[in-house]
Structure 1
Amino acid sequence: MLVKAVESSSHSSPAFKLDKYDFVQTLFEDLRRNFRHSLFNRRVGVVGRRYSFKDCLIPNPENVLTVRTILKDRDSKPLIEELRALPNQQHLTHKARVEIETVKDSDIVFVDGVAVAFRRKGELAPVLTNTSALDALPRIIVDMGAVPHVVGGADIMAPGIRRVTGEFAEKQLLAVVDEKHGKYLAVGKALTGSGPLAAAKKGKVVENIHYVGDLIWEVIKPKGPASQSSN
C-alpha cells in the first residue's frame, strides 16, 4: 500500500515505478540509523552491553531496562526497619540512602548503593550478594548434580540434598549452597520444617525464590573479575 502511494504521488512521473525491494531496504536502513541514536543503543548497566537493532526486532525478556529510584525519608525509614529485621542487618541506619530498582515482579533494595534485599509479593529476602545475611540463615547443601537445576531456577528436590544445617520452620528463608565449594546458589523458602525436610526422600522441599543467573542476579552480580568468596 505504501509503495502504491509513492508511485501515485503527484511528485512522481507517470512512468515512475518503485522497486519494492530497494524501497524496503532503504526504509530499513533509515530506521536502523535512527535507532542508533535512540535510548536503546546507550550502555545499560543491567546487562552490561550495547543494545542493537536486533534487540528491537526480537524481544528478549532477559534484556530488561530498569530505573533506580531514590526513596524519600518517609518511605525509606519504614523500609530500613524492615531490613533491620533480616539476619545481621541491624547496622543499617535511617540516614542511609535507600533506592529501589524494579525487575519484573521484584523490587531490589539498595542501601547506600549496595544491594541488600529484594521484595516480592510483599515479602523481603536477602539477595545473594548479601553474604552477611546469608551466613546467618539455615543451609541446604545440595550435591553437584543438582547445581545446574538450582541455578536454572528449579525448586530443590529431596534426592539432591546432602545435608541440612540449622533448624527452621515451614516458609522460613534458607540459603542453598553446593557441597564441593560451599558457594551460595540460591535463596529458598522451606516448604516444610527442618525435621521432615531432613528425613524426606522424594518430592519438592524448598521453593527457589532467587538464584544465580536470574534477573535479580543480573542486576546485582559483581561486575569485576573477583568472584564470590567461599563460605
Structure 2
Amino acid sequence: MSSSIKLQYLSKKSIKEILNSVISRKEISEKFIEFLQNAEDVKMGYTEDFEIYVFDAIPALFRVKDFKIYIPTLYALNYFLNTYKIHIVPSVVVDHGAIEPLKRGADVMMPGIKKINQMFKKEDIVGVLEPQEKYFIVVGIALIDSNNIVIGGKGKCIANISRLDDKIWRASLQLAKSLG
C-alpha cells in the first residue's frame, strides 16, 4: 500500500448514505447494488484528490473532489463485465481512433462512438468500451441524452471522469491487490 493512499473503515451511517445515493441513480444495475448492499467489509481508501470505496475487497465506487456523486470504478465495471457479464451502467463502444485520446483524458466525442449499448440520459454515469467490447477504458458522465447522439455527428457527449491507467485506476488495482 503506497503511503499516499490512506485507509479507513466507514460507519454504518456512512455506508447507508453511500448506498442510498447509489440506489437513487436509476442507471446503475440492480445486481451491482445488491452486491454493495450484501458486502460485509467496507473501507474507504483516500487521497487528497479522490476517495475509493472498497466493498468486500472490490474497489467498487469512487468520488472525485469536484463531484458529489459516487461513480463505479473502472475496476468494478471490468470485474463485473468479465466475471458476471453484467454492465453496471449504460455503455457506448468507441472506435480504435478514440482509444489513445481517451486514455490521455480527452472527453468522448460523437465521431468516436460506434455503438450505444443501452440508452441513457444527460448526467447519467456511462461506461466506455473498447471496440471489441472486452473491457471498459473510461467511465464518465453523459453530457447529452443518448438519443441525441448521432453516429458520425459532432461534439462532446461524455465527460471523461476516470480512465485506464489514471490515478484512480492505479489506486483501485493497488487496493484490490493489497486487500484481496
Decide: shared fold, TM above 0.5: yes
From 135, 144, 156, the counterpart of 2:108: 156
Residue 205 of structure 1 is matched in structure 2 by: 157
How far is 1:92 from its partner?
Answer: 2.9
Are the structure 2 counterparts of residues 103 and 154 from structure 1 closer, same or farther at C-alpha, using a change threshold of 3 Å?
Answer: farther
**Bigger mean CA offset, 131-140 vs 174-183:** 131-140
Are the structure 2 counterparts of residues 181 and 174 from structure 1 closer, same or farther at C-alpha, using a change threshold of 3 Å?
Answer: closer
Letter in 2 for 1:112: D
Superposed, 1:110-125 pairs within 5 Å as: 110-120=54-64, 121-125=67-71
Scaled by the length of structure 1, the TM-score of the pair is 0.63
Superposed, 1:35-184 pairs within 5 Å as: 45-46=1-2, 65-84=4-23, 86-87=28-29, 88-93=32-37, 96-120=40-64, 121-131=67-77, 132=80, 135-184=87-136
Q: Which runs of 5+ in 2 are unaligned?
A: none
Q: Deviations over 1:123-173 (max 9, x none)?
A: 011001113387142221111111111111110111111111211111111
- Given that 2:129 and 2:136 are in contact with CA atoms closer than 8 Å, whether structure 1 keeps it comes out as yes
Are the structure 2 counterparts of residues 95 and 171 from structure 1 closer, same or farther at C-alpha, using a change threshold of 3 Å?
Answer: closer
Q: Deviations over 1:167-198 (max 9, x none)?
A: 11111111101113532101011111111113
| Paired positions, count | 163
**Bigger mean CA offset, 114-123 vs 195-204:** 195-204
Q: Deviations over 1:25-66 (max 9, x none)?
A: xxxxxxxxxxxxxxxxxxxx24xxxxxxxxxxxxxxxxx711
Scaled by the length of structure 2, the TM-score of the pair is 0.78
Are the structure 2 counterparts of residues 89 and 95 from structure 1 closer, same or farther at C-alpha, using a change threshold of 3 Å?
Answer: closer
Counterpart-to-counterpart distance in 2, 1:162 and 1:95: 36
Counterpart-to-counterpart distance in 2, 1:144 and 1:210: 19
Larger radius of gyration: 1
How far is 1:199 from its partner?
Answer: 4.9
Counterpart-to-counterpart distance in 2, 1:95 and 1:202: 42
How far is 1:95 from its partner?
Answer: 6.8
Q: Which runs of 5+ in 1 are unaligned?
A: 1-44, 47-63, 225-231
- Given that 1:68 and 1:101 are in contact with CA atoms closer than 8 Å, whether structure 2 keeps it comes out as yes
Letter in 2 for 1:82: S
How far is 1:118 from its partner?
Answer: 0.6
Are the structure 2 counterparts of residues 94 and 175 from structure 1 closer, same or farther at C-alpha, using a change threshold of 3 Å?
Answer: closer
Say which SS state the counterpart of residue 180 (structure 1) adopts.
Answer: coil
Are the structure 2 counterparts of residues 206 and 92 from structure 1 closer, same or farther at C-alpha, using a change threshold of 3 Å?
Answer: closer
Counterpart-to-counterpart distance in 2, 1:95 and 1:180: 31
